[in-house]
């Protein structure tokens, strides 16, 4: 028997097995806790709870390390591309050339949406948030592919995976086109994944959009950086929905909804709104930080802080460099970048942020790049969803293949009224 932790309660001591991961992180296996002691664990926000064993992504938040399937994020961002990273996340290994070419071809063959799906976009108000539209359309895919959505059928899972990855850029671009009142632009299968997305976003029937390869590459790097992040809020949501054996489209749609919130993926939109507010008010970074530190003020420094990283988020470092490259290539100066850098500089020296280990996260600089390439603010989180998609699917697939997979069903400590008699209306 390996290591055990001992728990004593009401005079009885039990041994709880300790499990260890490949990077030597340890966890107490509590599977028998309730049956042996009557106790459950209480851990709001799952600050200390592992929900699964996973071999996809490794994070060391103290050291600022992120690896997909063992490969450091820095190397993948520099040398790989989003399709290769998607394959890696889904299959566990880097693809051989033939496999990658076949994967890219499969995605090209499935990039169009069913014509009837356009009706969904047109039914939403023009000012609908694209995350709401995106979540709805992804869920609606379940209705178009009912004959191939069985989570236990490997061919159904394969084709649903291809359809989702292939159609997500089209869905994202259609959300935008609908909001602008412009015609939808069909995918152009001669273009690579990111160039095709930019084409569907910015071309019109009367004007071709010439894709700048540097912009397409910057977008590709951003997608790589967002592709997975182990058991975050949206991924846990995808797993939770998947644990009920709901189909892949329904599970991913729930992930999109979870990502929308400003504490999670919605932070990239919130960062730009915050920077614009600072620019409009003409206040210094230092003054703004005082508001974020004030416990009577609900504001937070958006794009700062992370549940897992207690060090500089490695993705933020890469994004900051990409951000400066893109702006200098486009010969653009950015008032918002200047403000962001000032805020970062002040915060990293401020006792409040230092003691709480609050560093820039993935969202701090990403919005500035999106803005420079013409993506509107409310589309930022949709791009995050496009990037996170292969990670969500890989995690969902891992769950479906896990022989220990059970329906996700936490318990609670009940704090409501104890038993009481029903009182009729005339007695209340």
- Footprint of ligand ACO on this chain (CB under 6 A)? 45, 263-265, 267, 292, 300-307, 356, 358, 361-363
Q: Which is nearer to ligand ACO, 198 or 259 (CB)?
A: 259
Catalytic annotation on 129? no
How many CB atoms lie under 10 A from the CB of residue 91?
14
Q: What whole-number distance in Å separates Cα of residue 173 and Cα of residue 383?
A: 10
Catalytic annotation on 110? no
Q: Which two tokens stand for residue 208?
A: 């071709």
The values of phi and psi at residue 16, to 5°, are -115, 120
Q: Which two tokens stand for residue 305?
A: 């802080």
Q: What whole-number distance in Å separates Cα of residue 328 and Cα of residue 214?
A: 11
In angstroms, give the least distance from the CB of 55 to ligand ACO.
22
Q: What's the length of the chain? A: 428
Kind and range of the H or E run holding 6: strand 4-9
Q: Which is nearer to ligand ACO, 85 or 292 (CB)?
A: 292
Assess contact for 159 and 141: CB atoms under 8 A: no
Q: Which is nearer to ligand ACO, 247 or 381 (CB)?
A: 381
- Which residue is it, tokens 């994202």? 172
SS3 311: coil
* DSSP code, position 145: -
Q: Which is nearer to ligand ACO, 255 or 265 (CB)?
A: 265
Q: What whole-number distance in Å separates Cα of residue 202 and Cα of residue 198?
A: 6
Q: Which is nearer to ligand ACO, 166 or 313 (CB)?
A: 313
Rg (CA), the chain: 23
Q: What whole-number distance in Å separates Cα of residue 264 and Cα of residue 381?
A: 9
In angstroms, give the least distance from the CB of 307 to ligand ACO.
4
The values of phi and psi at residue 209, to 5°, are -110, 120
Q: What whole-number distance in Å separates Cα of residue 252 and Cα of residue 234?
A: 9
Q: Which two tokens stand for residue 314?
A: 């490695």
Q: Which of 220, 228, 350, 363 is catalytic?
A: 363
In angstroms, give the least distance from the CB of 60 to ligand ACO.
16
Q: Which of 199, 306, 313, 378 is catalytic?
A: 306
In angstroms, give the least distance from the CB of 271 to ligand ACO.
7
For the sheet containing 65-68, what is the strand order? Answer: 57-60, 65-68, 71-72
Name residues whose C-beta falls within 8 Å of residue 119's C-beta, 6 or more positions apart in sequence.
Answer: none
Q: What whole-number distance in Å separates Cα of residue 147 and Cα of residue 363?
A: 38
Q: Which is nearer to ligand ACO, 87 or 304 (CB)?
A: 304
Q: Which is nearer to ligand ACO, 45 or 181 (CB)?
A: 45
Q: Which is nearer to ligand ACO, 45 or 282 (CB)?
A: 45
Q: Longest C-alpha distance within the chain, in Å?
A: 79
In angstroms, give the least distance from the CB of 29 to ligand ACO.
24
Question: Which residue is at the shortest CB distance from ligand ACO?
Answer: 305
Q: What whole-number distance in Å separates Cα of residue 350 and Cα of residue 352?
A: 6
Q: How many CA atoms lie within 13 A of 263 on its CB side?
A: 7
- Tell me which residue of 170, 243, 277, 164 sits closest to 402, measured CA to CA: 243
Q: Which two tokens stand for residue 36?
A: 């042996």
Active-site positions?
A: 306, 363
């Amino acid at each position: 028997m390996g290591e055990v932790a001992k728990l004593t309660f009401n005079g009885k001591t039990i041994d709880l097995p300790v499990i260890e991961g490949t990077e030597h992180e340890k966890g107490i296996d509590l599977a028998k806790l309730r049956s042996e002691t009557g106790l459950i664990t209480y851990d709001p926000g799952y600050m200390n709870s592992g929900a699964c064993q996973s071999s996809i992504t490794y994070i060391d938040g103290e050291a600022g390390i992120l690896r997909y399937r063992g490969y450091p994020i820095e190397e993948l961002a520099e040398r790989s591309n989003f399709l290769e990273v998607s394959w890696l996340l889904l299959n566990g290994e880097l693809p051989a050339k033939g496999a990658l070419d076949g994967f890219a071809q499969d995605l090209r063959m499935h990039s169009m949406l069913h014509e009837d799906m356009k009706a969904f976009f047109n039914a939403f108000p023009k000012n609908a948030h694209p995350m709401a539209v995106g979540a709805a359309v992804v869920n609606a895919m379940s209705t178009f592919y009912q004959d191939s959505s069985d989570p236990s059928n490997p061919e159904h899972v394969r084709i649903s995976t291809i359809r989702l990855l292939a159609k997500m850029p089209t869905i994202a671009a259609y959300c935008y086109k609908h909001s602008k009142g412009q015609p939808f632009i069909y995918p152009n299968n001669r273009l690579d994944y990111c160039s095709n997305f930019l084409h569907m976003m910015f071309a019109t029937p009367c004007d071709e959009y010439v894709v700048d390869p540097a912009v397409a590459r910057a977008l590709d790097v951003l997608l790589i950086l967002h592709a997975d992040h182990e058991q975050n809020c949206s991924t846990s949501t995808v797993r939770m929905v998947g644990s009920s054996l709901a189909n892949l489209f329904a599970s991913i749609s729930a992930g999109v909804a979870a990502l929308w919130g400003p504490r999670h993926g919605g932070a990239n939109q919130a960062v730009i709104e915050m920077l614009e507010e600072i620019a409009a008010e003409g206040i210094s970074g230092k003054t703004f930080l005082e508001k974020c530190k004030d416990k009577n003020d609900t504001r937070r420094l958006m794009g700062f802080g992370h549940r897992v990283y207690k060090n500089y988020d490695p993705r933020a470092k890469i994004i900051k460099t990409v951000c400066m490259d893109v702006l200098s290539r486009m010969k653009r100066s950015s008032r918002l970048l200047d403000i962001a850098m000032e805020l970062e500089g002040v915060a990293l020296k401020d006792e409040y942020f230092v003691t709480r280990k609050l560093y820039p996260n993935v969202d701090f600089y990403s919005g500035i790049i999106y803005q420079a390439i013409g993506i509107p603010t409310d589309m930022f989180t949709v791009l995050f969803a496009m990037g996170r998609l292969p990670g969500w699917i890989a995690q969902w697939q891992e769950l479906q293949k896990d022989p220990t997979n059970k329906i996700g069903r936490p318990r609670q400590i009940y704090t409501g009224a104890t038993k009481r008699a029903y009182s009729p209306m005339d007695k209340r």
